[in-house]
Amino acid sequence: MIKCDNLQKRVPMAGAELAILKGITLEIKSGESVAIIGASGSGKSTLLGLLAGLDEATAGSVVIDGTDLGALSEDERARFRGQHIGFVFQSFQLLPALTALENVMLPLELQGQNNVEEQARHYLQRVGLQARTGHYPLQLSGGEQQRVALARAFASKPAILFADEPTGNLDTTTGEYIIDLLFELNREEGTTLVLVTHDQVLADLCQRRLRLDGGALVQE
Amino acid sequence: MSMTATKMLARDWRGGELGVLVMALVLAVGVVSGISAFTTRLQNALEQESHRFLAADLVVTSGRELPLDWSRSASEKGLQHALTLQFPSMVYVGEESMALASVKAVTDGYPMRGEITYSTEPFGAVRSADTGPGKGEVWLDSRLFALLDVAVGDKVTIGDAQFSVAAAARTEPDQAASFYGYGPRVLMHYDDIPATGVVQPGSRVEYRQLYAGETAAIGEFQQWLEPQLRDGQRAVTVDEGQPRIGSALDRAESFLLLAGSLAVVLAGVAVALAARRFSERHHDYVAIIKSLGATSGTVNRLYGSSLMLLGVIATALGCLMGWGIQALFFSLFAEQLPIQPGPSGVRPYAIGAVTSLTCLFCFAWPPLRRLAHASPLRVLRRDLPMENRQAIYDYVLGLVAVTLLMWWYSGDWKLTLAVLAGLGLTAGLGFCLALTLLRGGRLVGMSAGSIWRLALAGLQRRGTANALQVVIFAMAIMMLLVLLLVRTSLIDEWQAQLPSDAPNHFMINIGPEDVQAIEQTLRAENITSEPFFPMIRGRIMTVKGEELPVTDDVEEGRRQREINFTWSDTLPHENRLVAGEWWQPGTEEALVSLEEEFAARMGLTVGDSVSFLVGSAPLEARVASIRQLQWQSMRPNFFLVFPPRLLVDYPATFMTSFHLDEADKGFLNRFIRRFPTVTVIEMDIVVEQIRTIINQVSAAINLVLVVILAAGALVLIAGVQASVDARVHESAILRALGASRRLILGGLLIEFATLGLFAGTLATLAAELSVYILQTMVMDMNYVPTPWLWPVGVFSGALVIGALGVFSCRRVVSTPPVTVLREL
Ligand SMILES: Nc1ncnc2c1ncn2[C@@H]1O[C@H](COP(=O)(O)OP(=O)(O)OP(=O)(O)O)[C@@H](O)[C@H]1O
Ligand SMILES: [Mg+2]
């Protein structure tokens, strides 16, 4: 369960301060799927980054399953992410130096797990890329890269999956395929899903929608 | 994790900066270990070589017979030994001819180091021998054949004994250092001494016991021996080899150490630049793996182990390269070195490894360590600024590391200081200048065509980064210029000292009545000679009214001793006044001009009084000036010069030096027959030896220069690469917008060439400063400004950096813009 209370983010800007998030309070239950929507620049990515423990809040708190992220050091948050959180990004964020298989194995290796390769192969097969395991990201299309990213995200069996515009760089057909895959895996693994999107179709598939406007939540 | 690290390295090789990093490390290790292995081995060989000038490792000399049980106990300690005895004696042929000779009797073991040379006819082809003449035989100096009118196989008499002439004696390894005073050489066997009956108690003789063996055993023996030495007995070990070669090699060594130090600095800068770029390119990677749960410790381990791996590979390759460099140097020298140089040991390679470690730790690690602090938020926001906060601290660390390395490596703080001064000037001045000039460019450039507008706008947008780049380029160019300058002046000076027609024979003991006749003879034979110098032999007695001690203990120190004077109205050629004034021609004052080191040894300065004994006549004078001599030149040099009027009444002989080709040596036979009282001293073998060694050292220096040029090129490449990413990206966008190939390449060329122009100007300025300090304080040379440096430095800077820049960015016009944009 994710609980966030009066979450604020301000950055210094040419002498003055720019308030990006102006006190966000929300709760997301385990297994729930939530879409964060809003205009460009409204603070969606910033909120996602804070919820996932990628960034530190200026004020307020984020508590995930009883762990206050604000009380953790950067390294403790990294470990926490490794254990509980998975990501899918708009720009895929695969490591170009590693093959598809190695990219999927990476988070498992970071957790120090055994039979890493077997698990990674399983998830690559799950996203239909068993034939492309030895390819490097630059040799894959955008859709294929995003499928590798999905396999990587689910391979570490996260409790919560964060996705920032997972279809933003893809055409409609490929996007829909990715969306189907995402929700299918989500159902199978029972993951909590928090995603940021401009895509109305994707937003509508979620159980709940949160709209951001100028750094504050507004009623749907 | 280690799999990921090696994988990452293998794939990142493509980025180019790892290649530069490894190459820079390999070069640093290679140059440093190669040069230090070379100098270690060369010193080692030269030390052995210098033992040749003693013909042994340890020599005991005395005017009286030396205890023979010393030799016996040396044998027991496993040392070799030999005996020599030197004495003046008349040599007769029948009743009609005779000559005064300097006879040297030697045992079979002589010489233990080096070799004796002889020829089967006077001035004939030189051969070498391990031992001297057999019993009943003598070898005569080439001159004696003419003086005594004998040939090989004839009989000569010394004292009561008759000997058969077996060969012409040419050189001995321990030929007396002072060749004045003694007559031509006769070599005979030690066992024949009693038969001659000429050596009586009280004769002017010199006994020598020579010892050779392992360094440790010799040291032990010397310690045992020294307390037993009495008055008049002296133990001599190896001197510093031959001074002439010595000073040339000292400078060569300074040069090599300078080169090595510069290699360290250049490599350090290249490593730092490459590591910085590597780290910038890896910011995004780190953000991703951190978002996946990697802690900063994991990141540090990942990059630390990658770096260690690279370091190990580079160090191994570097040591290999170092070994190759020194082997190459020695293959150049092999024929010239009479002694095979011993192994250098592991120290040079340890120095190389320490250099590599230092470079890694102080230059490569700081930017990589910052990677661990990269924010995982970059996965959401790529525009997030990178972690560069500790940059200043890194520069300080790098500077301290470079200074310590250079100082440790060269063992010379003046040299270190000279290089640092140049670097400091470049950095300080360069940064201010670059910033102002780049700002000023806006006014000039805006009215120009669109290529210029593009280029100048590019320069201005990255003002600070460009200024830093200019400074780095300037440093690299400066160091190359410094090395080039020092090398050129060094080699020029050597060549000037020993031109191919440098004098290689001395002529002494010329009576005043013969001077004119000899001048004529030389001219008739087309032999160019130096002027004839009058020479008077006297004894220095008192200094500032205080009598000098009479002792034989100190070879060169403050004591009464015999010296050669000359007189002159003018300052001798190639002498330089360092204190006082030269006298008016024709002065009648009692003045004297002293050589710098001699004056220092005797504790004399301008204005002091000093007195001499010439024959039995006293001579007093006041020190009027102090001179510096060119000892390297093969010209007559004198410690003391007097005004001519002062010495007219004293008995003088004359001396000169001249050049004689190998083919013309027969002239000496004729000459000696005609002027039997004149002593001719052959230096041609020595001169030739010096010349060859100097040529080889020059070759080694050129080779080092090439290696350092490579290091410099690496820095330039690393420096250009540092800004390539940003420039390629911008150019790709411009291409996408339809800019022509010519416009883009032209813009890049102007941009880089402008940076190069600034860098070249700065570099030239700083190089002049560095070279000035180096030449006046370290290398003991005269500083001469070099006007050609300016065009070379400035334009080669613009040209090379312009070309490198365009070359590094070429892919932006050779690949479609989409590919470029997608890869970035
Ligand atoms: N570290 C920062 N420094 C300055 N401004 C920032 C920073 N982080 C975010 N912003 C600003 O805060 C606003 C919100 O950014 P955010 O990336 O969260 O928007 P978004 O809703 O994700 O927009 P988009 O839909 O375009 O991705 C933007 O105007 C952005 O420029
Ligand atoms: Mg966003």
3-state secondary structure of B125: coil
Answer yes or no: do A78 and B295 touch at CB < 8 A: yes
ipTM for the predicted complex comes to 0.88
Residue type, B791: P
Q: Rounded CA gap, B553 and B378, in Å?
A: 80
Per-residue pLDDT at B821: 60
Domain boundary assignment for chain A: 2-218
Q: Rounded CA gap, B773 and B780, in Å?
A: 10
Burial degree of B65 (CB within 10 A; 0-12, 13-18, 19+): exposed
DSSP string, B243-299: HHHHHHHHHHHHHHHHHHHHHHHHHHHHHHHHHHHHHHHHHHHHHHHHHTT--HHHH
Dihedral sign, Cα of residue B211, residue B217, residue B221, residue B222: positive
Q: What does the buried/exposed string (b/e) look like for B371-401 if buried means 16 or more CB atoms within 10 Å of the residue's CB? A: bbebbbbbbbeeeeebbeeeeeebeebbbeb
Residue closest to B184 by CA, chosen among B71, B292, B91: B91
- Token pair of B15 as six digits: 């980025």
Question: Crossing angle, helix A142-155 and helix A100-110, to 10 degrees?
Answer: 20
Q: Kindly list the residues from chain B whose CB atom is less than 8 angstroms away from the CB atom of residue A102.
A: 3-4, 7
Average pLDDT of the residues of chain B: 80
Q: Identify which of B292, B375, B380 has the shortest CB distance to residue A106.
A: B292
C-beta separation of B535 from B653 below 8 A:
yes
φ, ψ (nearest 5 deg) of residue B560: -70, 130
> For residue B686, what are the CA distances in angstroms to B488, B583, B693?
25, 36, 11
Q: Rounded CA gap, B752 and B756, in Å?
A: 6
- All residue ranges of chain B with pLDDT < 70 are 1-16, 43, 45-53, 175-182, 201-204, 238-250, 333-341, 382-383, 385-391, 433-435, 437-464, 551-557, 631-634, 685-686, 689, 693, 738, 780, 815-824
Burial degree of B180 (CB within 10 A; 0-12, 13-18, 19+): middle
Q: Rounded CA gap, A136 and A148, in Å?
A: 11
The verdict on B288 touching A (C-beta cutoff 8 Å) is yes
CA nearest ligand 1 atom 13, residue:
A41
C-beta separation of A100 from A148 below 8 A:
yes
Q: Kindly list the residues from chain B whose CB atom is less than 8 angstroms away from the CB atom of residue A49.
A: 377, 380-381
Q: Kindly list the residues from chain A whose CB atom is less than 8 angstroms away from the CB atom of residue B376.
A: 54, 78, 81
Per-residue pLDDT at A62: 94
Of ligand 1's listed atoms, the one at least distance from the Cα of A20 is 12
Residue A181 has pLDDT above 90, yes or no: no
Which of the 8 DSSP states describes residue B385? P
Residue type, B304: G
- Token pair of B654 as six digits: 């004359």
> For residue B7, what are the CA distances in angstroms to A131, B261, B390, B767?
21, 34, 29, 43
Q: Which ligand has an atom closest to residue A14 CA?
A: 1
CA distance B284 to chain A (A): 8
Q: Chain A residue closest to B1 (CA)?
A: A109
- The total of other beta-carbon atoms located within 10 Å of residue A183's CB is 15
Give residue ranges with CB within 6 A of ligand 1. Answer: A 11, 18, 20, 38, 40-46
> For residue A81, what are the CA distances in angstroms to A186, B286, B659?
18, 14, 87
Of ligand 1's listed atoms, the one at least distance from the Cα of A196 is 22
- Name the least confident of A18-22, A116-120, B59-63: B59-63
Rg (CA), chain A: 17
Q: Rounded CA gap, A53 and A66, in Å?
A: 14
Per-residue pLDDT at B339: 58
Residue A35's DSSP bridge partners are A195, A209
* C-alpha A165 to ligand 1 mean position (Å): 14
Of ligand 1's listed atoms, the one at least distance from the Cα of A48 is 18
Per-residue pLDDT at B180: 42
C-beta separation of B120 from B168 below 8 A:
yes
Of ligand 1's listed atoms, the one at least distance from the Cα of A38 is 21
Q: Kindly list the residues from chain B whose CB atom is less than 8 angstroms away from the CB atom of residue A168.
A: none
- Torsion from C-alpha of B598, B604, B605, B609, nearest 10 degrees: -120
Q: Rounded CA gap, B299 and A110, in Å?
A: 11
Question: Within 13 Å of residue B713, how many CA atoms lie on the same side as its CB?
Answer: 12
Residue B595's DSSP bridge partners are B627
Residue A62's DSSP bridge partners are A4
Per-residue pLDDT at B445: 46
3-state secondary structure of A97: coil
- Token pair of B659 as six digits: 């050049």
Label residue A63 by pLDDT band (50, 70, 90). Answer: very high
* C-alpha A21 to ligand 1 mean position (Å): 10
- The total of other beta-carbon atoms located within 10 Å of residue B159's CB is 17
Q: Rounded CA gap, B795 and B793, in Å?
A: 6
Residues 6+ apart with CB under 8 A from A30: A1, A159, A192
Answer yes or no: do A45 and B293 touch at CB < 8 A: no
- Name the least confident of A1-5, A55-59, B482-486: B482-486
Q: Rounded CA gap, A89 and B379, in Å?
A: 8
Q: Rounded CA gap, A29 and B397, in Å?
A: 52
Which of the 8 DSSP states describes residue B568? -
Residue closest to B91 by CA, chosen among B135, B26, B140, B131: B140
Per-residue pLDDT at B235: 79
Per-residue pLDDT at B397: 84
Per-residue pLDDT at B338: 55
Helix, strand, coil shares of chain B, percent, nearest 5, are: 55, 15, 25
* C-alpha A92 to ligand 2 mean position (Å): 14
pTM of the model: 0.70
Per-residue pLDDT at B181: 46
Per-residue pLDDT at B597: 82
Query: Which residues from A are below 8 Å from B when comparing CB atoms?
Result: 45, 48-49, 52, 54-55, 74-75, 78-83, 85, 87, 89, 91, 93-98, 102, 106-107, 109-111, 136, 138, 152, 156, 164
CA distance A85 to chain B (A): 8
Residue B613's DSSP bridge partners are B539, B618
Question: Within 13 Å of residue B797, how many CA atoms lie on the same side as its CB?
Answer: 32
CA nearest ligand 1 atom 17, residue:
A45
CATH of region B530-658: 2.40.40
Average pLDDT over residues A71-86: 89
Per-residue pLDDT at B157: 92
- Token pair of A201 as six digits: 């179709």
Delimiting residues of CATH 2.40.40 domain(s) in chain B:
530-658
Q: What does the buried/exposed string (b/e) look like for A135-162 if buried means 16 or more CB atoms within 10 Å of the residue's CB? A: bbbeebeebbbbbbbbbbbbbbbbbbbb
Q: Rounded CA gap, B465 and B147, in Å?
A: 81
- Token pair of B332 as six digits: 């150049």
The residue of A48, A72, A74 whose CB has the most chain B CBs within 10 angstroms, and thus the best one to mutate to test that interface, is A74
HEC string of B441-460 equals HHHHHCCCCHHHHHHHHHHH
CATH of region A2-218: 3.40.50.300
Residue type, B263: A
Which of the 8 DSSP states describes residue B638? -
Q: Which ligand has an atom closest to residue A38 CA?
A: 1
